[in-house]
Amino acid sequence: MLFLFFGILLALFQLLLFYNFYWKRRHLPPGPTPLPIVGNLLELGKKPPGYDIFLKWREEYGPIYTYWVGEQPMVAFTEYSLINETIVKDGDNYTDRDFFQDFYTLARGKNGLVHMEGQAWREHRKFLMNVFRNLGVGKNLLEQKVLSEFSAMCENIDKAIGECPIGEDMEIISHLDLCVGSIINSLLFGYQFHGEKTEEFVELKKILNEYMYTIGQPSTQFLMSWWPHLIRHLPYFKEIFLEVQRKIMRTYAFFKKQIEEHENDGEYLGDERLDFVSAFMREIKLRDGKENYDTETLYAHLLDFWIAGQETTTDTLNWGIIHIIYNMNVQDKLHKELDSVIGSNRQITLADKVDLPYSNAVVNEIMRISNVLPQNLARRTVQDVHVRGHLLRKGTSIQPLISCVLYDENIFPNSRQFLPERFLNENGTLKRFDEFIPFSIGKRFCAGESLARTELFLIFVNLFNQYEISPPKYSEMPSKQQNFGLSVVPLPYKCQIRKRLDSQKE
């Protein structure tokens, strides 16, 4: 009997090996060998955020390979030419979202734009893009909103400088957070985080930071990939799921309050272009809650927009300041161009961009080297597709790793060095790269690209026109450690901030 028992165990073990090392991988591009159950999550978790391991796998297996998140395969596209010939030229076949949407549906109910698929995604994306265009995104109205919030931020920074003992180090993260948060909130809800509303923002930002950190952890990724309908009930994973859900519900409570205020004042029923919530509530009434135009979908859209519109922009701005602190010669060149072209502390506008090639190069290099999304939102194939000799079945999860393109040594030599000059031609004009795609490309490129680019340029360039930012005197130098959640977040840091006076520019 004992011999039979061990014989069965041995047979099951051999069957597991056969399934794990051959059967489940037989129709997929080659890649790192996955462990049973956990896949390649241990390798990904060794050195987050994962840039190095993705590039290492590309060297070993080529530009297309398969890695495993738990028992779910992810086919990685890691070169620009491959991403362009698939995601762009054959884009209609790569518009579905990955398997993670099951987890999000369980955690928060209906999905927002990020995880929608098919006709619902097409309809809502078109509607949302039209709404934001009407609210000024891509137009002068957005520029005015950004510059107004930048002015409010400068008032807060100047006040902090005045209250700070002379020569003391200061933090700037909270000022940038509040500025970007006010911009996105004005578009979504129609008001800024000024005065007493500041504490409201601080609480909301804290919840979202915790949510994004939890979502990005390997244990959560495992839960998301391995039958979440079942795994979420098991010890340990149950608490992770409930923690994610609690963060979502606390965020939704904030949204609910704003939506109820819109309902009570009734202004959303008019034709005025007030804010996103007003526009969506009008559409709910017009469509009688059909076609995913309902309050639950509105909550999901708002969460997606808050995360996409806030976190990645402030992370990029803060990484930019950190890189400037480590490369003060870049700030000297930046100030020289600004003093020559602008010549005063007036606000710089988008109309000035064409005359500021070095400033543009600095902002581009900040976006490239910050590389705040090591893994983009994955997609699924809509039908069977052939890619460079591989047949990828319908429903295969595709990961276009933009991070590998931005760190591609063949395109951006010395890619881990902060070198704004790489974006300049020999004659000093701005150099363009097709491969510079920080907002992704294809049918599902970032819907907030226009907003983010406007914010990054106007806030960053105006900030350095108004201030000189230098290494801290009494604190440690800012850390370059990359704290990974859904995006790569810099650790808190301090620096020296000094107002640049007109007399210093003459």
Q: Which residues contact 199 (CB under 8 A, 6 or more apart)?
A: none
Longest dimension (CA), the chain: 94
Listed residue (390, 388, 385, 378) closest to 26, CA to CA: 390
Report which residue type is found at 420. P
CA distances from 392 to 18, 77, 396 (A): 21, 12, 6
Give the side-chain half-sphere CA count within 13 A for 367: 23
Q: Is the peptide bond before 49 cis (omega within 30 degrees of 0)?
A: yes
Contact of 244 with 263, CB cutoff 8 Å: no
DSSP 477: P
Q: Is 446 annotated as a binding residue?
A: yes
With 0-12 CB in 10 A as exposed, 13-18 as middle and 19+ as buried, what is 312?
buried
Helix (H) or strand (E) holding 402: helix 402-406
DSSP 67: E
Contact of 437 with 405, CB cutoff 8 Å: yes
Residues within the annotated binding site?
A: 446
Residues within the annotated binding site for heme?
A: 446
